[in-house]
């Protein structure tokens, strides 16, 4: 079986290389049939990669320990779902998933666009195939998932932290996001190579970018929720380089999604959009490099691996190639129009872009700081949470405010009089909410109070937009169906507000307490009293589970029971903290109880945290997904408009 | 295309300059970073550092009533330093595992800041031991 997997990968590499070279030649010499053949080779590469993936999946499910990868990442005691998730639990498997997703995206992009924009696709295929060739080469020559050995009786098992339902969805979603950014990048480069720098590449890739961005966003929120419920430390984001690796391309893609609208509407920011798509794709590669090279310290610790230098070389080559292309095509990237006023929709988009890119680059600086300080001073230094928190507040709060201002400002030029009339309601609501919160004691955290006030402003402005639009359109459904992207975008803005409220609430207004308790003793945290009753243990399918029984009181009223504890996994010989969470749905507040240390005599060192409004963060994920689906939903009316605007006869038709 | 006298360019340039100024000011005043060192690099450093290395036993204390005491060794070396730590001990903390902890060297003992001990997740993307 391993031979089949190896052969499939070699075939995939061959097809990708053919697609890259033949595609390049075909595009250069305008040979339509050869270009079609290159596109077909990319489709076939998907088939070959799917065979390789099926071989690995089958070995994982069968626990075939003659595959080194299977023995290193599963055990016979591992439940089926986690045996499947071990596919992306290690380096080689996750690289194979990357190639599978990449060839999948490539095939779909070719199939959907080859008739609509053949000249653009002709140049896009070699770019996509070139990137696929790199990953196929890594899998064939550097990190093969099909290395074999004499099968041991038992495998090493999967890291207990990864034995969680979230791990079935979180990594694949991140890959859909990371790899999805390849499509707009490849089309952007294809447009430059073809010399077609109008808006067609943006129109062709708009949904791809939106899909990748949605997957990356939802994937990160799932990861945060996993960290919160599974890692057992009561937090959800630690500004760790590996977490930042996913956040940075998401921020760059967010800027890109906004700035392409200016190019579509006003023909401006063409160079900027190219740079953003290069930044987003470059950062998705950099994130992969970061997690596999061991160049920076991370709690996730993906220490020295053999593919780090390959990735670094590839990133340098890709960025140099892309920037050279942009420089070469600068004369074609001139704006059709210019910014007419600093108070206009496009200007607020521009400010939003500056802030998003500034936030993205300051995070990049923080991540790269250990490497840079080592190079310059000979001593590796790291920046911590205060650095990231400072810039999140400094750039994030104005961004939040802009989300409320942007949608209400007119394109091209807005008069002060119109602005006053438009903003009177949202500003009034924000001031009223601010005063109310101040009276309720929210002034203990200035950033928290500002975040809440700005959030009220954004929600009021989004509501106003919906109300005004519904009045004009006649009905709410008519309004949304007429411009799904716009109103889906507003729903996403509401999700970001929920996220901001959740982050501000749980970080600025939380409380915590820790104490050693023997059965019968109590401790207080916030408005809660915890009474430790007893401890018990039971054997699970692949672990020993110890749980404490704790009663939760508010005042003198018993409101529930929680059972925090620890699991000891046999095969992996590791212990995992199992935090207990009690949610107060009315207040969107969590009480988290952690057993920091369990002594054999039943004494437990408890840690308890109260996280106000933390559930708004998870609710934001649902709203975010809903808004993205609304924006992504096919829109026949828009499609007709775009076809009449951009579709040109193909050479054959001409 | 008329480019002269465009106020947009001025304001955008000023916005970029403001962002850069905030960044440079903050990084020069507050965010010099914490040095990441291994035990052999500790002598001569008196301020706060992040110490990384492998745990050497015996491990004593429970990190709450009595400090957790162990030694840290260079990742690829023999130099060790005694460490004293209080606070949450990660699940995966054990002898020979790679950890990082913040603190400062006091009279030959690395006194760690509470709740800063992190262990490294061992199973993902690591090179195999031959």
In a domain, B85, yes or no: yes
Chain B residues 68-87 with CB within 8 Å of chain A: none
Instruction: Please report residues of A whose CB lies closer than 8 A to that of B59.
Output: none
Q: B30 in contact with A at a CB cutoff of 8 Å? A: yes
pLDDT: which is higher, A431 or B118: A431
Option in A68, A342, A381 nearest B33 (CB): A381
> Per the structure, how many domains does chain B have?
1
Pick from A106, A230, A222: which is nearest to A172 by CA? A222
In a domain, B67, yes or no: yes
Instruction: Please report residues of B whose CB lies closer than 8 A to that of A338.
Output: 1-3, 6, 8
| pLDDT computed for residue A627 by the predictor | 95
Interchain proximity B127–A386, CB inside 8 Å:
no
Number of H helices, E strands in chain A: 20, 11
Q: What is the pLDDT of residues A41-82, one digit of tens each?
A: 999 999 999 999 999 999 999 999 999 999 988 888 888 888
Q: B53 in contact with A at a CB cutoff of 8 Å? A: no
For B121, nearest residue in chain A (alpha carbons): A300
| pLDDT computed for residue A296 by the predictor | 64
Q: Please state, in angstroms and rounded to a whole number, the distance separating the CA atoms of residues A296 and B52.
A: 12
Q: Is residue A384's pLDDT more than 90? A: no
Q: B60 in contact with A at a CB cutoff of 8 Å? A: no
Q: What is the pLDDT of residues A71-91, one digit of tens each?
A: 988 888 888 888 898 898 888
The CATH number for B77's domain is 2.40.50.140
Q: Is residue A178's pLDDT more than 50? A: yes
Distances, alpha carbon B57 to alpha carbons A574, A596, B77, B83, B129, in Å: 18, 21, 16, 11, 22
- Shortest CA gap A342–chain B (Å): 6
Task: Name the token pair of A366.
Answer: 């923080």
Q: Please state, in angstroms and rounded to a whole number, the distance separating the CA atoms of residues A181 and A168.
A: 21
Report the DSSP pairing between strands A574-578 and A580-584.
Answer: unpaired
Task: Name the token pair of A34.
Answer: 């050869």
Number of H helices, E strands in chain B: 1, 7
| pLDDT computed for residue A303 by the predictor | 47
Contact by Cβ (8 Å): A354, B12: yes
Percent pLDDT > 70 in chain B is 82
- Shortest CA gap B26–chain A (Å): 8
Interface test with B, best of A299, A301, A567 (most B CBs within 10 A): A301
Q: How many CB atoms lie within 10 A of CB A587?
A: 13
Q: What is the mean pLDDT of residues A131-155?
A: 90
Q: Which residue shows structure tokens 């955008």?
A: B12
Point out which residues pair with A531 in neighbouring strands.
A522, A551
> In whole angstroms, how large is the CA radius of gyration of chain A?
27
Interchain proximity A72–B22, CB inside 8 Å:
no
Option in A68, A233, A305 nearest B125 (CB): A305
Instruction: Please report residues of B whose CB lies closer than 8 A to that of A303.
Output: 98, 120, 125-127
Interchain proximity A365–B27, CB inside 8 Å:
yes
Listed range (A165-174, A284-293, A479-488) with the worst mean pLDDT: A284-293
Interchain proximity B2–A338, CB inside 8 Å:
yes
In a domain, B14, yes or no: no
Instruction: Please report residues of A whose CB lies closer than 8 A to that of B11.
Output: 342
Q: What is the pLDDT of residues B22-76, one digit of tens each?
A: 777 777 666 677 888 888 888 887 788 889 888 998 888 888 888 999 999 988 8
Q: What is the pLDDT of residues A597-620, one digit of tens each?
A: 888 889 999 999 999 999 999 999
Pick from A419, A524, B104: which is nearest to B84 by CA? B104
Q: B100 in contact with A at a CB cutoff of 8 Å? A: yes
pLDDT: which is higher, A405 or B91: A405
Q: What is the mean pLDDT of residues A399-403?
A: 94
DSSP A285: H
Interchain proximity B23–A395, CB inside 8 Å:
no
Q: What is the pLDDT of residues A545-578, one digit of tens each?
A: 999 999 999 988 999 999 999 988 877 677 888 8
Task: Name the token pair of A645.
Answer: 């605007």
Contact by Cβ (8 Å): A281, A182: yes
Interchain proximity B123–A575, CB inside 8 Å:
no
Q: Please state, in angstroms and rounded to a whole number, the distance separating the CA atoms of residues A428 and A433.
A: 9
Point out which residues pair with A551 in neighbouring strands.
A531, A561
Q: How far is CA A600 from the centre of its chain?
A: 42
Looking only at Cα atoms, what is the longest distance across chain A? 86
Interchain proximity B123–A162, CB inside 8 Å:
yes
| pLDDT computed for residue A315 by the predictor | 94
In a domain, B72, yes or no: yes
Q: Please state, in angstroms and rounded to a whole number, the distance separating the CA atoms of residues A46 and A99.
A: 8
What mean pLDDT, rounded, does chain A reach?
88
Name the pLDDT band for A295 (thresholds 50, 70, 90).
low
- Shortest CA gap A18–chain B (Å): 30
- Shortest CA gap A66–chain B (Å): 16
Option in B2, B35, B92 nearest A379 (CB): B35
Pick from A496, A273, A251: which is nearest to A388 by CA? A251
Option in B16, B23, B52 nearest A354 (CB): B16
In a domain, B127, yes or no: no
Contact by Cβ (8 Å): A391, B41: no
- Shortest CA gap A456–chain B (Å): 26
Helix H or strand E encompassing A609: strand A604-611
In a domain, B63, yes or no: yes
In a domain, B50, yes or no: yes
Q: B26 in contact with A at a CB cutoff of 8 Å? A: yes
Q: What is the mean pLDDT of residues A484-509?
A: 92
Q: What is the pLDDT of residues A12-39, one digit of tens each?
A: 999 999 999 999 999 999 998 999 999 9
Residue A435 backbone phi and psi in degrees, to 5: -65, -45
Q: What is the mean pLDDT of residues A529-535?
A: 95
| pLDDT computed for residue B129 by the predictor | 36
| pLDDT computed for residue A304 by the predictor | 54
Distances, alpha carbon A427 to alpha carbons A405, A419, A453, A459, A493, in Å: 10, 11, 9, 11, 17
Range with the largest mean pLDDT of A222-231, A313-322, A581-590, B83-92? A313-322
For B125, nearest residue in chain A (alpha carbons): A91
Pick from B35, B90, B82, B76: which is nearest to B56 by CA? B82
Task: Name the token pair of A243.
Answer: 């977490």
For A142, nearest residue in chain B (alpha carbons): B127
pTM (2 d.p.): 0.90
- Shortest CA gap B115–chain A (Å): 10
In a domain, B26, yes or no: no
Range with the largest mean pLDDT of A181-185, A377-381, B55-59? A181-185
- Shortest CA gap A463–chain B (Å): 29
Q: Is residue A651's pLDDT more than 80? A: no
- Shortest CA gap B56–chain A (Å): 18
B69: domain range? 36-119
- Shortest CA gap B116–chain A (Å): 11
Task: Name the token pair of A319.
Answer: 């960025």
Option in B7, B88, B123 nearest A596 (CB): B88
């Amino acid at each position: 079986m391993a031979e089949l997997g190896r052969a499939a990968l070699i075939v995939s590499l061959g097809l990708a290389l053919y697609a890259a070279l033949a595609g390049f030649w075909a595009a250069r010499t305008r040979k339509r049939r050869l270009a079609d053949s290159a596109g077909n080779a990319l489709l076939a590469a998907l088939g070959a990669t799917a065979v390789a993936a099926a071989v690995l999946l089958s070995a994982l499910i069968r626990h075939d320990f003659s595959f080194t990868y299977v023995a290193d990442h599963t055990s016979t005691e591992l439940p089926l779902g986690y045996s499947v998730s071990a596919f992306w639990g290690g380096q080689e498997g996750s690289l194979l998933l990357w190639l599978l997703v990449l060839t999948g995206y490539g095939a779909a992009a070719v199939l959907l666009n080859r008739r609509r924009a053949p000249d653009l696709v002709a140049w896009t295929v070699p770019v996509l195939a070139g990137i696929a060739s790199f990953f196929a080469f890594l899998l064939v020559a550097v990190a093969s998932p099909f290395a074999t050995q004499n099968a041991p009786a038992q495998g090493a098992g999967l890291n207990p932290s990864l034995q969680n339902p979230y791990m079935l969805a979180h990594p694949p979603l991140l890959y859909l996001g990371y790899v999805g950014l390849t499509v707009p990048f490849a089309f952007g480069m294809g447009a430059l190579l073809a010399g077609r720098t109008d808006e067609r590449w943006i129109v062709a890739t708009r949904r791809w970018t939106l899909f990748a961005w949605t997957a990356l966003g939802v994937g990160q929120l799932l990861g945060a929720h996993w960290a919160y419920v599974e890692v057992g430390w009561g937090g959800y984001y630690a500004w760790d380089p590996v977490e930042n690796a996913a956040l940075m391309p998401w921020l760059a893609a967010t800027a890109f999604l906004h700035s392409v609208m200016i190019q579509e509407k006003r023909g401006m920011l063409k160079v900027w959009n190219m740079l953003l798509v290069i930044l987003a794709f470059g950062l998705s590669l950099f994130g992969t490099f970061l997690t596999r090279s061991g160049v920076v310290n991370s709690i996730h610790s993906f220490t020295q691996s053999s593919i780090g230098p390959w990735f670094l070389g590839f990133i340098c080559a890709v960025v140099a190639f892309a920037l050279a292309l942009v420089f070469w095509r600068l004369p074609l990237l001139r704006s059709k129009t210019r910014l007419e006023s600093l108070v206009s929709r496009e200007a607020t988009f521009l400010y939003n872009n500056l802030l998003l890119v500034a936030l993205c680059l300051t995070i990049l600086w923080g991540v790269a700081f250990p490497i840079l300080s080592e190079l310059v001073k000979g001593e590796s230094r790291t920046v911590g949470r205060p650095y990231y928190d400072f810039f999140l507040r400094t750039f994030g709060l104005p961004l939040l405010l802009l989300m409320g201002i942007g949608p209400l400002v007119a394109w091209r030029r807005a008069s002060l009089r119109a602005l006053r009339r438009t903003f009177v309601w949202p500003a009034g609501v924000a001031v009223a909410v601010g005063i109310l919160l101040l009276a309720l004691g929210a002034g203990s955290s200035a950033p928290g109070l500002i975040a809440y006030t700005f959030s009220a402003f954004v929600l009021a402005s989004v509501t106003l937009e919906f109300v005004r639009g519904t009045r004009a359109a006649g009905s709410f459904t008519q309004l949304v169906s007429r411009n799904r992207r716009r109103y889906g975008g507003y729903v996403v803005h509401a999700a970001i507000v929920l996220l901001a409220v959740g982050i501000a609430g749980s970080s600025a207004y939380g409380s915590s307490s820790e104490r050693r308790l023997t059965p019968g003793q109590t401790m207080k945290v916030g408005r809660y009293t915890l009474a430790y009753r007893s401890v018990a243990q039971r054997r699970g399918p692949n672990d020993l589970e110890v749980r404490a029984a704790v009663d939760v009181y508010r005042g003198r009223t018993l409101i529930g029971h929680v059972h925090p504890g620890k699991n000891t996994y046999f095969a992996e010989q590791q212990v995992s903290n199992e935090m207990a969470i009690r949610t107060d749905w009315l207040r969107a507040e969590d009480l988290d109880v952690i057993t920091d240390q369990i002594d054999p005599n039943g004494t437990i060192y408890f840690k308890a945290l109260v996280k106000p409004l933390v559930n708004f963060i998870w609710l934001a994920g649902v709203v975010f997904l809903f808004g993205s689906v609304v924006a992504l939903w096919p829109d026949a009316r828009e499609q007709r408009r775009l076809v009449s605007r951009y579709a040109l006869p193909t050479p054959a038709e001409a | 295309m008329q480019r002269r006298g465009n106020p947009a360019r001025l304001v955008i340039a000023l916005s970029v300059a403001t962002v850069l100024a905030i960044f440079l000011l903050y990084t020069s005043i507050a965010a010099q970073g914490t040095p990441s060192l291994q035990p052999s690099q500790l002598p001569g450093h008196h301020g706060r550092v992040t110490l990384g290395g492998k745990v050497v036993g015996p491990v004593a204390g429970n990190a709450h009533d009595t400090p957790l005491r162990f030694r840290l060794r260079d990742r690829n070396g023999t130099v060790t330093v005694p460490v004293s730590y209080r606070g949450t001990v990660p699940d995966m903390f054990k002898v020979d595992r790679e950890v990082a902890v913040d603190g400062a060297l006091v009279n030959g003992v690395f006194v760690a800041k509470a709740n800063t001990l992190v262990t490294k997740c061992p199973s993902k993307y690591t090179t195999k031991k031959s």
